[in-house]
Amino acid sequence: MRAAAFTISRMLSPNDTVLYHELMSSIILSFLHQPFHDVIEETDTTPSVRSLSQYTPAAALSTLITLVSNADPSPILIAALLSPITPALYSLFHHMEKVKTSNPSLKESLRGLLVTWGKIVSQQEGFDILWHIIMSSERVWQVDAEGHISKLIE
């Protein structure tokens, strides 16, 4: 798994030796971010290879946790992976903090992602995203007892 995380982190990091950097990073990032923008209903709990249009927030979150846990702590990589979806991750973490029956492993992994993001992004980027979270109440994320992630509109 570490080798796969290293390969993906090389694809996402700007590097002259990696051909088609922009294409690869846009494909990988859209694969990981799109489930937090266009949510589909999670009906299948068995892991499988899914097309981009079928990739669920839970699967994307699991992939992000694996990537961040196994990749070198590159500020560029962490910001690219997490900054666009930090409001959704924070909302999900906030929900899990309020629910006593939340999966403790998932909650701690999510906390780890947010702490890593907070330590590694620039002060201005962190401020901008956190201010957006404070000022916006447009989306609320939650996890049910079966581990399905869903988005509610307030």
The runs of H, that is alpha helices, within 71-122 are 75-82, 86-98, 104-120
With respect to residue 43, please indicate whether it lies within any of the assigned structural domains: no
With respect to residue 115, please indicate whether it lies within any of the assigned structural domains: yes
Residue 46 has pLDDT above 50, yes or no: no
- The answer to pTM > 0.95 is no
**Domain of residue 34, residue span:** 2-38+49-153
Quick one: pLDDT at residue 147?
Answer: 77
With respect to residue 44, please indicate whether it lies within any of the assigned structural domains: no
Give the DSSP H or E segment for 69. Answer: helix 57-70
Quick one: pLDDT at residue 48?
Answer: 46
With respect to residue 62, please indicate whether it lies within any of the assigned structural domains: yes
| Cα dihedral value 94, 97, 98, 100, nearest 10 | 150
Domain count, the chain: 1
Quick one: pLDDT at residue 142?
Answer: 81
The mean pLDDT value for 76-94 works out to 89
